[in-house]
Structure 1
Amino acid sequence: MTYADSTTERIRPQRFHETVGLEDWRVVGEGACAYFRTGSFAAGARLVQAISDIPGVGDDHPDVDVRPEGVIVRLITVTDDYYGLTERHIELARRISATARALDISADPSAVQTVQVTVDALNGSGVVGFWRALLGYRDRANSDEDLIDPHRRGAPFYFQRMDAPRPQRSRVHVDVWVPYDQAEARIAAALEAGGRLVNDADAPSNWVLADPEGNEACVGVAGPPGPAAHRP
């Protein structure tokens, strides 16, 4: 049986993280990601070629970013009615990790993250239309509050509804999705650099921070393993 024959059942981040053999991978805001430290562009190209030779890999079109120092692989299903992980990503992730090990290339799970721009809006539909046209983005599946880059390279935009104007606060902020085991260190570094904690009511899945001038940012975590995992 090839990878392409496996199930396409939708799964949540916790299911992915609880599966043995996926230690190289972390689920962040934009799917399951792995970073492989290749050390050179040539080694990265060899890894990409080897990944492309995995039977059935083309059916799910993994996103691959090759740089001189490493390769980022992202697994996510993007269709008209779904944006997320499926059961088939589990086996594909295992095979990609095995392929990297065969080339003596190691993974660094701490190096992955997703950055999302969040816009607070009173009139969501009007605001979304402006940004859709300006960025050349399109709606995310089953959502009129999210825009994604059709080329799958730019940061996604999320539009958060406001019930009343908030002139005393910034209306645009950045969401940083990090691996579940890196959140505390990332928050500590931001606080040490002059930031402050605004709200941790949704911890351990989300923290709101602010820089020294009050500009806000959120740190998000998707699905750490264990029964208390966040289920977005």
Structure 2
Amino acid sequence: MTDGEGKVERIRPQQFHETSGLEDWRVVGEGACAYFRTGALTSGARLVQAISELPGVGDGQPDIDLRHEGVTVRLITVSDDYYGLTGRHIELARQISAVARALDLPADPSMVQTVQVTVDALARADVVAFWRALLGYQDRANSGEDLIDPRRRGAPFYFQQMDAPRPQRNRLHVDVWVPYDQAEARIAAALAAGGRLVNDADAPSNRVLADPEGNEACVGVAGWTGPDSSR
């Protein structure tokens, strides 16, 4: 899909979810993802082979994770100036779901999630430079505050600018991006396990939880019940 000038159309998560035929897929922090249960490595390998033979699959550049229990497929465009979904991902997602159904491999959206590490920093540029070198990561679409794994395997890092030191508060926390229809259950489970709600001012797109000792985590939902967000 292209815009009127022939450029690839960039789309937001909510637009993806509101498109029919994409029920198997969920947009989390790192693109549109689907998980197909296989139960055997051979079944998963057949699905991967079928995906590789789809017309135009090279343009969509799907990331595919093959495990014994199932196959995870992620659709995202990674370039120097853009990190997100495009119109071509819509048709590719439909095609991937179709081949999975033909192989009788069910989708399980509840298995989809993204984990991101967030670091609060006063001298953000200096802190980013350290982690970029240590992890062997690269800037996300020329961002000065996001690092991604060029191998597209490790968790992304986000560096949040602080205005002043905050004694007695964590400087590093985990962001967990879950499907829009799994967030309430995941939060309820965390609270039942001894956690507490710290801040829900940005609910439902983001809520801050803490474990029994005060270590924080954010639960994020991309592009369904609220405006699109890159965090």
The normalised TM-score by structure 2 is 0.95
55-64 vs 202-211, greater mean Cα deviation: 55-64
Q: Deviations over 1:90-135 (max 9, x none)?
A: 0000000001001011100111000000000000000000000000
Letter in 1 for 2:216: E
Q: Distance in 2 between matches of 1:134 and 1:7?
A: 36
1:229 deviates by 2.9
The one-letter amino acid paired with 1:74 is R
Verify: 1:217 aligned to 2:221, yes or no.
no
1:1-232 residue pairs with structure 2 within 5 A? 8-224=8-224, 229-232=226-229
Aligned mates of 1:16, 1:85 — CA distance in 2: 8
Query: Residue 112 of structure 2 aligns to which amino acid in structure 1?
Result: V
Match of 1:132, SS state, is helix
Q: Which amino acid aligns with 1:145?
A: E
Gaps of 5+ in 1: none
Task: Flag as ranges the 4+ runs of structure 1 deviating above 6 A.
Answer: none
The answer as to whether partners of 2:208 and 2:216 remain within 8 angstroms in 1 is yes
Q: 2-side partners of 1:12 and 1:48: how far apart?
A: 27
Secondary structure, in 3 states, of the residue corresponding to 2:218?
A: strand
**1:116 touches 1:174 (CA, 8 Å); kept in 2?**
yes
* 3-state SS of paired residue (2:219): strand
Q: 1-side partners of 2:192 and 2:84: how far apart?
A: 34
1-structure distance, mates of 2:146, 2:205:
19
Contact 1:7 1:87 in 2 (8 A): no
Shift of 1:230: 2.0
1:61 positional shift: 1.2
Q: Give the whole-Å Cα distance in 1 for the aligned partners of 2:11 and 2:123.
A: 32
* C-alpha contact 2:170 2:215 (8 A) present in aligned 1: yes
Q: Give yes or no for contact 1:116–1:175 (8 Å, CA) kept in 2.
A: yes
SS at match of 2:24: coil
CA displacement at 1:7 relative to structure 2: 6.5
CA–CA distance in 1 between the matches of 2:228 and 2:83? 15
What is the distance in 2 between the residues matched to 1:177 and 1:15? 18
TM-aligned CA deviation for residue 143 of structure 1: 1.1
CA distance in 2, matches of 1:7, 1:48: 29
1:81 corresponds to which letter in structure 2?
D
Query: Is the contact between residue 7 and residue 88 of structure 1 (CA under 8 Å) also seen in structure 2?
Result: no
For the 8 Å contact 2:60–2:92, the answer to whether it is kept is: no
Amino acid at match of 2:95: R
Distance in 2 (CA, whole Å) between partners of 1:103 and 1:231 is 34
Contact 1:24 1:97 in 2 (8 A): yes
1:107 partner SS: coil
Contact preservation (8 Å) 1:64, 1:73: yes
